[in-house]
Amino acid sequence: MEIIKRLKAGLTGEVYEGNLFLNDKEPVHVAVKAMKTLEFPAARQFFLQESETLAFLMHLEEEANRDQGLNLKVAPIYYGRGEYQENPYLVMEFIEGKEIRIC
């Protein structure tokens, strides 16, 4: 994997733009969400649950598309998770667009 640049930082993590190299294929444009080091233990569990949610949404999307003949897109493609210097990160499809702010 190659990190291109840092995009944004929030309370619990940072998001980077990068490329993921799978086998001998062209690199895949990805977003990498990395968790910051936090002092409360539940933060890590919440962060890792996000990866399970992404995988579940992808599964539902694939099922609906196959069974109903649809072409739904409700979640980014989830490529997996890992750890760097004891901090977890998630790797998912990079989606161009505007920042969404929820106030």
Query: Domain 2-93: which topology?
Result: Phosphorylase Kinase; domain 1 (3.30.200)
- Compute the distance between CA of residue 86 and CA of residue 55 in angstroms, rounded to an integer: 22
* CA-to-CA separations, 54 to 26, 38, 85, in angstroms, rounded: 23, 22, 23
Q: Is the pLDDT of residue 72 over 90?
A: no
Q: What pLDDT digit, counting tens, does each position of 73-102 carry? A: 888 889 999 999 888 999 999 998 887 777
Global pTM value: 0.80
Query: Given pLDDT bands bounded at 50, 70 and 90, which one contains residue 103?
Result: low
Q: What pLDDT digit, counting tens, does each position of 42-67 carry? A: 888 888 888 889 889 988 888 888 88
Q: Is the pLDDT of residue 11 over 80?
A: no
Sign, CA torsion 82/6/35/78: negative
| Domain extents in the chain | 2-93
